[in-house]
Amino acid sequence: MGPLVLLTAACIAMPFALRNRPKGALAEYAPARQPPAATATGARRLSVNDVMSLQAAGLALVVDVRSERSFEAGHIPGALNVPLDEVEARAPDILRLAAGRALVTYCSCVHEHTSAVAAQALAGAGAKDVSALRGGYPAWVAHGGRVER
């Protein structure tokens, strides 16, 4: 039997063998992927450049939803620290401080999930223009954004 015949037989048999495997049998070989948070939360995302432009023009209130300790270690200049578990209760104050400006939330999550959850909570409280910073604080720092301590 030549190599071509063996390859053809393997190509034909493989889909059938995989179909009948126990569930999760190849899970350890699957790439560790998480869906983007946008899919999970539906919150709009803005790039670091977009946030820098809005902030420079005074058109956004930036809200850091990380812990107070993380905020004190370094944050986006002018950001308001409201940890995620306080966002809903403090939403009226945040909206008042925004005074019609866009709201931009950020966290340190890889897929900005925490900031997207906060953005949705603020939208639910009546914010008209709220987004999460794509890539969060790590993206801001990597982009060379100024940091306040």
Residue 129 to residues 25, 82, 104, 141: CA-CA distances in angstroms? Answer: 45, 18, 9, 24
Summarize pLDDT for 62-110 with one digit per residue, the tens: 999 999 999 999 999 999 999 999 999 999 999 999 999 999 999 998 7
Summarize pLDDT for 110-122 with one digit per residue, the tens: 789 999 999 999 9
Residue type, 15: P
- Superfamily of domain 37-142 in CATH is Rhodanese-like domain (3.40.250.10)
Percent of the chain with pLDDT over 90: 69
Q: Which pLDDT band, with edges at 50, 70 and 90, does 56 fall under?
A: very high
Where exactly are the structural domains of the chain? 37-142
Percent of the chain with pLDDT over 70: 72
Output the 3-class SS for 3-35: HHHHHHHHHHHHHHHHHCCCCCCCHHHCCCCCC
Please report, to the nearest 10 degrees, the dihedral formed by the alpha carbons of residues 76, 78, 82, 88 taken in order. -110
> Which of these, 125, 88, 54, lies nearest to 62 by C-alpha position?
54
Residue type, 65: V
Summarize pLDDT for 117-142 with one digit per residue, the tens: 999 999 999 999 999 999 999 999 99
Give 18's Cβ-side CA count (13 Å radius).
Answer: 8
Residue 11 pLDDT: 36
Q: Which pLDDT band, with edges at 50, 70 and 90, does 21 fall under?
A: very low
Residue 72 pLDDT: 97
Please tell me the total number of residues recorded for the chain in this structure. 149
Query: Is the predicted pLDDT of residue 4 greater than 90, yes or no?
Result: no
- Give the span between the Cα atoms of 10 and 23, in whole angstroms: 21
